[in-house]
Structure 1
Amino acid sequence: AGGLGRAHCGGGPRAAALLASGRVKRGWVWNQFFVVEEYTGTEPLYVGKIHSDSDEGDGSIKYTISGEGAGTIFLIDEITGDIHATERLDREQKTFYTLRAQARDRQTDQLLEPESEFIIKVQDINDSEPRFLEGPYIGSVAELSPVGTSVMQVMASDADDPTYGSSARVVYSVLEGEQHFTVDSKTGVIRTAVADLDRETQDRYEVVIRATDMAGQLGGLSGSTTVTIVVTDVNDNPPRFPQKMYQFSVAETAPVGTAIGRVRAEDSDVGENTDMTYQVKDEEGVEMFKVTTDSNTQEAVITVQKPLDYESKKVHTVVVEALNKFVDPRFVDLGTFRDQTIVRVSVLDVDEPPEFRPPSSLMEVQEDAHVGSVVGVVTALDPEPAKRPVRYSIDRSTDVERIFDIDANTGAIVTGKVLDRETAGWHNITVLAMEADNHSQVSRASLRIRILDVNDNPPELATPYEAAVCEDAKPGQLIHTISVVDRDEPQSDHRFYFTLAPEATNSHHFSLLDIK
C-alpha cells in the first residue's frame, strides 16, 4: 500500500520493465530494468519508469538518479520518472549498470522516500560471431592411421551471453577438407575420415573449420580458421636401388681398406625411416670385399678386404643388399623389406715386379765347399702376361764381404769365398729380382744360408794345463785329469779317445788311463 514504484512495460524494441516492491518503512526494493543492446533507433531508447504513489501529478515530486551512466548514458524525466538511454550499449563491453533512485520534494529537495538501488541490465542480441583465439592451429597424424584417429582439438569463443538463448552456443563443421577429415560438432575434435593418408603422396593438408553460433540454426553468425595437419612418416616403403647393376674398377695393387665406390638405395620415407644398413650377400664377395654404411649419406661404401690380383681374376661380381635399419612390422613383411643390386668390380692390371717363388727360402752348403760351388737357385717370375725376362743380383749391404755371388740370368747362388762354419754358421742375404728392361720393377727376397759342419778341427785342450808331482809319489798316484774340446759340431756329443803321444811312450815314469 502506497509503494513508490510500479511495474511498467513497453512494447517492441523499446520494451523494458521496472518492477518495484511495495514501499515499506525501511525503504524500497528494486528489481532490474532491461535494455536491448545495439539499439539503432534515432530516438532515445525508453528503459523504464520510477514512480511514487504519493505523486499526485502536480509536479511537486522531483525524480533523480545517480550512479553508473547517470546523466550521460541514462537520463530521467524529473517529473514523470521516465528513464531513457541516450547511447548505443554493448553487452560485450558492459553487461549491467548500477544506479540509485531518489524521490525528492521539489520545493525543499528533501527525500520523500529512502534512496533505493536498481540495476539496468543490457540484454544480449546475437551480434558477436565465434572466434578462434588460439590459432594458428598445427596438428599431426601418422600416415595410414585408421579412420577416426584423433588429430587435435580446436575451440571457438563467442562473446555473446551464454545464459541467454543460443547466441553463444557454437557448433563446428568442416568447410574445406571434408574428404579426409571430420570434426565433432560439439567438441571441435578433428579426426581422420580415411585410412589411406599417404605422406609420400601428400604430406600436409589445409583444413578449414567453421564455428557457427545459434547452435547452427539459420541466421547464426560464424567464424572460421585454417588448421594445418602434417602427415608424419611411418616406415611403409622399402629401400630400392635405382640401378640393378653398378660397375667400378680398382687397381690390383690397391691396399686392403681402399674404397672402390659407393652405391645408395633410395627410400621414399623420411628421418630415421631412411636409415640403411648394407651387407654383401655372396660368398666370394664376402671374402674379397667389405661394405659399410656412411651414416651421413646413407651410402654403401665398398672397400677391398683381401689383396686383388689381375692375373688370377679380372672381374669380381658382388651382390650388395640394402635393408632399413628400423623396420615397422605393422606395414610390411620383413622378408620383402630389402633390395639387392649387383656390383661388378673390374681389376685393373698394373705392371708389377717379379714375384719370388717361394718369397723366401733356406739353403745349406758345407763349409769345405770350393769357391764357385752352387749353393742353390732362387726363382722369380714376371706376373704379367708378357712374362718379361728377370735379372738377379745380391743386395751388397747384406753381404759386404761378398761371400756369395749370384748368376744374373739363372738366379744360381754360388760361393765367392772359402766358408768357415766356426766363424759364421749362418748368412742372411737379400736377393733382388728385376725386369730386364725396367729395373724400377724390382722385388726382394730374404735368403738364409746355413753352413754345414765338416770335421776340420782337431781336439784342443780345454785350458792350458800344468801339473806337478811330489818326488816321493807312489806308483799309480793320480797327477791330473785332462779335458779337451772340439770346435766342430756337435758341441755337446763328441767322444774323445786319449793315448800318449809316440814320443812319450818310451817314458816309464808316467802312464795314461783313457776313461772315455
Structure 2
Amino acid sequence: MSPCSLLPVILGIPVFLPDSKTESIKNPRQSLLREKRGWTGHSFYVPEESNISYYYVGQIKSDLDDGSEFFQYRLLGDGAESTFVIDERTGEIYAIKKLDREEQSLYTLRAQVIDTITGRAVEPESEFVIRVTDINDNEPKFLDEPYEAMVPEMSPEGTFVIRVTASDADDPSTGNHARLLYSLLQGQPYFSIEPTTGIIRISSEMDRELQDEYLVLIQAKDMLGQPGALSGTTSVLIKLSDVNDNKPIFKETFYRLTVSELAPIGTYIGKITAYDNDIGENAEMEYSVEDDSQTFGIVTNNETQEGLVQLKKKVDYELQNHYRIIARVRNPHVSEKLRIYHTEAAKAIIKVLVNDEDEPPVFLLSYYIFEIFEESPLGSAVGMVSAIDPDAKKSPIGYSVTDTRRFSIDDNGTIITAHPLDRELSAWYNFTISATEKYNMQQISTVPVYVRILDINDHAPEFPEHYEPYVCENADTGQIIQVISAVDKDKSEEVHHFYYNLSVEDTNSSFIIMNNLDNTASIVTSKSGFNLQEEPVFYLRILISDNGVPSLTGTCTLTIYVCDCDGNDDNQACDNKGFIKSLAFKTQVAIASLIGMMLIFGLVFLIFVLKQRRKQSLFPEKGEDYRENIFRYDDEGGGEEDTDAFDIVELRSRTFLRQPRARKVPSEDIRSLYRQSLQVGPESALFRKFILEKLHEANTDPCAPPFDSLQTYAFEGMGSLAGSLSSLESAGSEQDENFDYLNELGPRFQRLACLFGPAMPTNQ
C-alpha cells in the first residue's frame, strides 16, 4: 500500500478500495453480500461550552463508500439527532448544541450505511465514542457551610481552629483545572490558613473580654492560582470560649449598712455586689467577711451573685453602736494554671451602724435558783431577782410572779413566801417572774425561777408496812418472831439511821427488841410458853428514833397474836395457821357484831314494851346513869325452882366457859372458832377481882334488889378489843329464876355474850 493510501486512515476518513467501488457500481446488489472491509473514525473529541451552532465533530466513512448516491449514512445511539447529527452523504458529524462535560462527558454512538435502493444496511453498524473535553468553567465551592468554630481565649499561637474544604467540578485530569489553593481574605493577624489543606490556626493570643468572636473570610482558587483561575469564598465564625483569667471586683469599695439592736439573729441587713468579666462558672463568686467579733457574715446569692450581709450575733446599741468589717470576694473555680490571675482577692469596707431601740428589761441572770427550808414562816424571803432597762432612759421596773398562791414579790424583786411549804408535798417549785417597764408597759421580760425546798426533821420514823406477827403457844425464849424496819419521810443529808426501843410500859413485856445494826430490829420472845385463852393478843409499843437534828422519835404499836401451833412447833406452820385463824376470827367478829347489834336493838325494844306495862321501875336510881347497860325485867322469879337455871357461884371462879351441852358439831373448825371467841374478853384476873367485889357488896348491902332480879354491871377492861363488858349479878344465896329465854336464843346468843362480856354459864 502506498503512502498516499495510508493518509485517509491516519486522518480517520473511511476509504473504499477502487476495485470494490467498480464492482459495487456494476452490481450494487452483489455488494451486500461482500464481507465488511472496515470503518474509519472510531473516537472523537468535542470541547464543552462551544458557542458554534453546528460544531464539526468529525467524519465517519465506510470503506465501501465510493461516492455513489446509492449510499446513505445514519446515526444511532446516545444523543443522536438531539445532540449530534450526521451528513447522510458525507458522514460528517456535527454537534447541534452546547455541551457540558460536568453534565455528560461521554457519548456512545453507532453509524450505519444504507443502500437507498434496497433500504438495507450495506454492512454491520459501526460504534464510536464522542468525548466532551473539559475547560475550566467551574469555580471551587466550599462544603459544609456555614462554618463555625470555638477556641479558648488566650490560646497560644498555632492552636488548631478548624479545617475548611472546597471542591471543583472540573476534570482533575485535565491540566490544573481542579487543583486548589486556599488563602485568607479576612482574619489577620489573629488567624492563618494552610494553602493546600485549608486548616485555620491561631496566629496571635486573643482576649474574650475584648472581643468574643471573629468572622474570617477564606478564598479557594483553582489552577493553582494561575492567571485565568476561578475562585470561591466562604466565611468562618470563630468564637472565643471563656477561661477564668479575671478575678471578681467590687462595684463599690465602701458600703454603709444599718441594723436594729432588736433584730434577731439571721436577719439580712443589706447586700454588696461584685462583678467578674468572665462568664458562666468562671464568673461564680464567693463572699467572706473579716470580722473579729464574728457578729456578721456574708451569704452568696447563687442566682444574682450578690453578697447578702447577715447578722450572726445579737447587737446592743448601748455596748457598741457601729462596726467596721472588711468583705472579700473570690472565684471558687480556679485551675492551677490560672492561679496567677487570682493572687489576691478583691476587698471592700462595710460600716454597719446599730440603731437604738426601746428594749424590754433585761434580767441579770437567764434563770434563778433559790433554796428555803420547809415550814419557814409566812413572809420569809426566798431570794431576789433583778432586771434593768438597757436603754439610756433607765425606766423603773415592776415585778410580778405567776405562782401567786405560794409566792409573792415586791418592787425590789424580793420573792416572799405566801403559803406554808412542805418538802414532803413538793421538793421543787417552778414559776416565772415578769419584769415590766413602768414608762412603757408593753416592754415585758420574763425569767424562770426554781425554788428548792430544804428538808427539816419534822417527821418521825414509822413502820413501812403493817406487820402481823404471830407467836406459838409453845414458843421458847429467844425466838425471833418478826424483823421490823422503819422509813422516814424526811430527806437526810446522811444515810438514815434508826434506833429501836420498847416503851416504858412494855419493858417488862414478854418480848424484847434487838437492834440488828442495819436499820432493822428483831422482836424476840423473852419467855417460853404463851396461853392463847388467857392472853391471845399482845400490844407492843416500839419507839423508833432517827438521826436527824433534832432527833425525832415515833411510837408504833406492834400487834402480836398467839396462835395454836402444830405438834412439831413449826413456826412457819404457826404463821400459816395464825393467818387463817386471823381471817376466820375477823370474819367471825364482824358477823357476830352485826348479829349482836340486831339482838341488842331487839332487847331494847322488848324492854321498852315491858316498861310500858310496868309503871314502876325496879331501879329508878340507876336508870339514867347506866342507860343502855341496864336491862330491866318485870318477870317474877321462880323461887327455888330457878336455881338450876343460873348458878352465881360459877362467877366466883376464873373466867371460863363451861362445857356446853352435847350437840353435834360438824367440824373441828367450828369448835376452833368457838374457842377463839373467848379471846376478846377482858383480862381474867382483873375481871375476877371486879366480880368478887360486886358480890361482896350485894351480900352485905341490906338495900340490895330482890334475889329474883337481874343485876347488871359495867366494866371497862384493860386492852379489851370489845372496849367494855357487863355481867349478871345476884345474891350469893341460891335463888330460883327462869332463864329460859337464853335457851331460846340458842348457841349463837351465847357466843355473842362471850364476845361482849364474861363467859355466861349454861344450864347443864
Give the TM-score, by structure 1 length: 0.86
Q: Letter of the aligned partner of 2:455 in structure 1?
A: D
Partner of 1:430: 432
Kindly indicate whether residue 332 of structure 2 is the aligned counterpart of residue 322 of structure 1: no
Kindly indicate whether residue 278 of structure 2 is the aligned counterpart of residue 275 of structure 1: no
Q: Which of 457, 460, 463 lines up with 2:459 in the alignment?
A: 457
Contact 1:4 1:53 in 2 (8 A): no
Contact 1:281 1:320 in 2 (8 A): yes
In 1, Cα distance between equivalents of 2:454 and 2:42: 138
> Which is richer in strand?
1
Q: Which of 450, 463, 470 lines up with 1:448 in the alignment?
A: 450
User: Structure 1 residues 428, 26: CA separation in 2 closer, same or farther (over 3 Å shift)?
Assistant: farther
In 1, Cα distance between equivalents of 2:213 and 2:322: 49
Contact 2:247 2:342 in 1 (8 A): no
Aligned-pair CA distance for 1:51: 2.1
Q: Which of 4, 9, 19 lines up with 1:6 in the alignment?
A: 9
User: Structure 1 residues 460, 355: CA separation in 2 closer, same or farther (over 3 Å shift)?
Assistant: same
Q: Letter of the aligned partner of 1:257 in structure 2?
A: G
In 2, Cα distance between equivalents of 1:210 and 1:326: 41
User: Structure 1 residues 356, 26: CA separation in 2 closer, same or farther (over 3 Å shift)?
Assistant: farther
Q: Which of 255, 263, 271 lines up with 2:264 in the alignment?
A: 255
Contact 2:435 2:446 in 1 (8 A): yes
Q: How does 1:475-490 map to 2 (within 5 A)?
A: 483-490=485-492
Q: Which of 64, 75, 79 lines up with 1:65 in the alignment?
A: 75
Aligned-pair CA distance for 1:514: 6.3
Partner of 2:317: 310
Q: Which of 168, 171, 187 lines up with 2:178 in the alignment?
A: 168
Partner of 2:628: none
Secondary structure, counterpart of 2:347 in structure 1: strand
In 2, Cα distance between equivalents of 1:145 and 1:104: 78
CA-to-aligned-CA distance 1:423-442 (integer Å, 9 cap, x gap): 32221121111111222211
In 2, Cα distance between equivalents of 1:282 and 1:26: 116
Q: How does 1:396-435 map to 2 (within 5 A)?
A: 399=403, 402-407=405-410, 409-435=411-437
Secondary structure, counterpart of 2:224 in structure 1: helix
Q: Letter of the aligned partner of 2:329 in structure 1?
A: A
Contact 1:5 1:22 in 2 (8 A): no
- Any gaps of 5 or more consecutive residues in structure 2? 18-34, 518-764
Secondary structure, counterpart of 1:249 in structure 2: strand
Aligned-pair CA distance for 1:468: 7.0
Partner of 2:563: none
In 2, Cα distance between equivalents of 1:148 and 1:466: 113
Decide which moves more: 225-234 or 174-183.
174-183
Partner of 1:375: 382
Aligned-pair CA distance for 1:161: 1.4
Aligned-pair CA distance for 1:376: 1.1
Q: Which of 301, 311, 315 lines up with 1:294 in the alignment?
A: 301
Q: Letter of the aligned partner of 2:318 in structure 1?
A: E
User: Structure 1 residues 271, 487: CA separation in 2 closer, same or farther (over 3 Å shift)?
Assistant: closer
Answer with 1 or 2: which has the greater Rg. 2
Q: How does 1:62-211 map to 2 (within 5 A)?
A: 62-195=72-205, 197-211=206-220
User: Structure 1 residues 201, 476: CA separation in 2 closer, same or farther (over 3 Å shift)?
Assistant: closer
In 2, Cα distance between equivalents of 1:204 and 1:331: 22
Q: Letter of the aligned partner of 1:46 in structure 2?
A: Y
Q: Percent identity?
A: 43
Aligned-pair CA distance for 1:483: 4.8
Q: Letter of the aligned partner of 1:247 in structure 2?
A: R
Secondary structure, counterpart of 1:317 in structure 2: strand
In 1, Cα distance between equivalents of 2:440 and 2:306: 42
CA-to-aligned-CA distance 1:175-208 (integer Å, 9 cap, x gap): 222322222211111112212x111111111111
User: Structure 1 residues 54, 425: CA separation in 2 closer, same or farther (over 3 Å shift)?
Assistant: closer
Decide which moves more: 244-253 or 124-133.
244-253
Secondary structure, counterpart of 1:300 in structure 2: strand
User: Structure 1 residues 258, 74: CA separation in 2 closer, same or farther (over 3 Å shift)?
Assistant: same
User: Structure 1 residues 153, 405: CA separation in 2 closer, same or farther (over 3 Å shift)?
Assistant: same
Q: What do you get for the CA RMSD once the two structures are aligned?
A: 3.1
User: Structure 1 residues 34, 463: CA separation in 2 closer, same or farther (over 3 Å shift)?
Assistant: closer
Q: Which of 43, 50, 53 lines up with 1:32 in the alignment?
A: 43
Aligned-pair CA distance for 1:386: 2.3
> Which is richer in helix?
2
User: Structure 1 residues 158, 483: CA separation in 2 closer, same or farther (over 3 Å shift)?
Assistant: closer
Decide which moves more: 481-490 or 245-254.
481-490
Q: Letter of the aligned partner of 1:440 in structure 2?
A: Q
Aligned-pair CA distance for 1:363: 0.9
In 1, Cα distance between equivalents of 2:117 and 2:466: 168
Contact 2:41 2:59 in 1 (8 A): no
In 1, Cα distance between equivalents of 2:407 and 2:229: 116
Secondary structure, counterpart of 1:94 in structure 2: coil
Aligned-pair CA distance for 1:474: 7.1
CA-to-aligned-CA distance 1:122-145 (integer Å, 9 cap, x gap): 111111111224211111221111
Instruction: Tell me the matched-pair count.
Output: 496
Partner of 2:571: none
Secondary structure, counterpart of 2:351 in structure 1: strand
In 1, Cα distance between equivalents of 2:120 and 2:484: 165
Contact 2:297 2:312 in 1 (8 A): yes
Contact 2:183 2:195 in 1 (8 A): yes
Q: Which of 478, 492, 495 lines up with 1:493 in the alignment?
A: 495
Secondary structure, counterpart of 2:166 in structure 1: coil
